[in-house]
Chains A and B, each alone.
Chain A
Amino acid sequence: MNLKSETKLVEAARNGHLESFGLLYEHYYSSMVALAYSMLSDRQLAEDAAQEVFAIACRDIGNLKSKEKFAAWLAGICRNISRQMLRTKARNIESITDEPADKNNQREYRKEMLRRAVRNLQHTEKELIVLRYYDNLPYEQIAEILDISVQAVNGRLIRTKRKIAKYLKCNGLTGNDYETS
């Protein structure tokens, strides 16, 4: 979907055209799940959040000022909902601590260390990584959601991956594990 056709769909949806809204839903649903997952770290909750995002979008689409920024607007709703869910989740679960990773199972150990590396990222970096790897989103769509240029997506991804690689190296995962070649 290019920007022009998307803008037309947004306009149609603003005028109450459900089918157009459905196409936007299909286009952005996965990315909203990914975005929510970057905050919630729970796939089921992330799906619930994404569903709610579109319910709020239905209600508020008339308030959307710039049709061209639909994806970024949707992402804003998603962050708000995820924050609310995170607060509820925090109340329900007293504390979450990292389990010590089992060094004897190398594969699981690497995965766990990678998860920790992602968790240690700044929020914006985590969003970027999850959007990219959760559902293999193309750079263009990530750029729309984060409201930055494709070049910026590329640059930030390289910097973030460098940071992850450094974290892994500090935790003894080097050489054939993840380092650059």
Chain B
Amino acid sequence: MKRPENYKRLDEALSETIGSKKHRTDFDHWKRTHPDAVEMLTSRARIHSRSGSLLKIRNTIMKSPITKFAAAAVLIICVFLGLNYFYDDSGKAYGMSDVPTLFYTANTIHMKGRIYFPEVQDPKKSFVEIEHWLDLVEGRWRMVVPTTYGGQEGFDISLDEHICDGSDYGMSIDHKHKQVSFAKVSKFHRNLFNHRNVYSIMQLLCSDIEGFYEYVKIDEETIDGHTYQVWEAVFPQVVNEYDSKVTSWLSPKTGEFAKAIIWMRKAGEDWKKKMEMDLVERNVPLSDEIFNLQIPAGYTSTNTKETAQNKPISSFGGGLNNYRLWTHLLFVLPDGSLVLCWSSEDTEIATSQQELFKDLKIGGEFPKLPFQVDALNVSYKGETVTFTGHHLAYTIKDNKFYEWSIYTSLKQINPEYAQLLTFYLVYSDNIKDPEIKGSFSVGIMPSILIKDREEFNEIFTGAIKELSDKTDISQELSYASVMQLARELRK
């Protein structure tokens, strides 16, 4: 009988002779070196958007428009079938659960409407007009936002504007005092603001951002010849003692809003309008004029571009006595694991923390700072999911030490959904008693979804550089290494 052919040794020899080291597929680098090709491709999106086609992207797991159950069912089916990416050009109806994806993937967003102050008696001051323009491709924005003033003159409302023209500078306009100020806005900041601005816009459309999955369809209306489905969701006591309700008119055909209204009420009272957006556009052309950094006539400037300072990264946190715990940035990685940048310090003793960060191991214990963030909890489908933390890296900027910790959970949460959730810090107090655990929300700081290697290299690495005096990044913080660590920690 003829023996079956076995080319094991030949296979090995061919691999050794022909084989190459694994190629580094750096799409980011390719984009930089082929701007014309990129422009050619992306220009197709602009044409496509204008023609009213439906552009959607990958990972749109939450397809079902109506209930959490339907959404969960779709998620399970998708995971089961191993479908990683979705693109729907079949004319499938859009629902509210599609809204986060539609906005996070838009090229541009333009919104106009009013914010009401029902507690103000003077009808002239009972609302302000606001308008936002976001160019997410070029990293430009102009946001008109209300500012309220109290004091001896009584309640007053004015408008501020924040503008960035896509360059390294931004300008804020204080219309009450007719003053402008400039700030430096790095590329990382533009990415960060892009994300946070979209998050703010979605808050304007949906009060409680997690609530996109809570809506029910209540009606259908025709406005200017187009059919819109009316969706409604009620969020009890989202802000203080007020309940809120959101009514949205969404086109099932295009995913466009005709309008959205947020209502608020105290228990036992009637609903009052808090916000009304009657122009919500995605993927519309925005002229350069909108993002002009010219000082308006009659306004003075507190500084110039030359003297402008870097825009700081916002920090949130709390403390006890002279000990503080700050959270700076929260990232959701493509596999659903989390990275939180935090710091903790004794505000009265200005000694270096270098000793505490010595000999730390990646994937090991945290530095013994006054407070430490042991875990992040989140409420997901009626149960609390705990993401357990480990040390990933630390950075030093201006003598301040920042801990970067990675948090993983055996329970998988779709990253697209996770970015909308409110996480709670579980911290321990190393000064008083590490065994006593406390908790507070980091929901005020929207998490930033890192969708892929490209975004990791740009946004996540950009963040690390931003909070570091060094300009280089260690190999342990490469995309592959961090994802591998997350996999190992989940085991």
Contact = CB atoms under 8 A, between A and B. Distances in A.
A13 B58 CA distance: 11
A164 interface: yes
A8 B15 contact: no
Given A2-B82, A5-B84, A51-B30, A180 B6 contact: yes
Nearest to B454: A22
B45 interface: yes
A120 interface: no
A30 B13 CA distance: 20
Contact of A8 (B13, B18, B86): B86
A8 B453 contact: no
Contacts, number: 161
B55 A118 contact: no
Given A8-B86, A54-B30, A111-B17, A17 B23 contact: no
Contacts of B38: 18, 58
Interface residues of B, number: 53
A23 B85 contact: yes
B10 A178 contact: yes
Interface string A12-24: 1111111111110
Interface string B43-84: 111111000010111100000000000000000000000111
Given A15-B55, A22-B27, A23-B85, A129 B14 contact: yes
Given A115-B17, A135-B20, A16 B33 contact: no
B20 A54 contact: no
B7 A19 contact: no
A33 B23 contact: yes
Nearest to A54: B30
B87 A8 contact: yes
Contact of A178 (B13, B58, B87): B13
Interface residues of A, number: 57
Given A4-B83, A111-B16, A15 B5 contact: no
B3 interface: yes
Contacts of B22: 30, 135
A112 B301 CA distance: 73
A129 B18 contact: yes
A158 interface: yes
A37 B84 CA distance: 31
B89 interface: yes
B454 A51 contact: no
A178 to B, nearest CB: 5
Contacts of A11: 87, 89
A19 B451 contact: yes
Contacts of A54: 30, 34, 37
A123 B174 CA distance: 70
A97 B42 CA distance: 46
Contact of B57 (A19, A25, A62, A181): A19
B76 to A, nearest CB: 17
A59 B86 CA distance: 23
Contacts of A134: 18-20
Nearest to A2: B82
A30 B19 CA distance: 12
B27 A181 contact: no
A82 B483 CA distance: 35
Contacts of B5: 158, 161-162, 180
B352 to A, nearest CB: 42
Contact of B13 (A20, A22, A51, A114): A114
Interface in A35-82: 37, 43, 47, 51, 54-56, 58-59, 61-62
Nearest to A16: B45
A129 B13 CA distance: 12
Contacts of B454: 19, 22
Contacts of A29: 23, 25
A51 B6 CA distance: 36
Contact of B42 (A18, A115, A136): A18
Given A8-B85, A130-B18, A110 B13 contact: yes
A26 interface: yes
Most buried by A among B18, B22, B27, B83: B18
A59 B43 CA distance: 10
A9 B85 contact: yes
Interface of B: 3, 5-11, 13-20, 22-23, 25, 27, 30-31, 33-34, 36-38, 40-48, 53, 55-58, 82-87, 89, 105, 451-454
The 8 A-B pairs of least Cβ separation, nearest first, read A16-B45, A16-B44, A8-B87, A58-B37, A55-B37, A29-B25, A5-B85, A58-B41
Given A9-B87, A135-B23, 15 more contacts: A8-B86, A17-B45, A58-B40, A62-B44, A133-B11, A133-B19, A134-B19, A135-B20, A158-B5, A162-B5, A178-B10, A178-B13, A180-B6, A181-B8, A181-B9
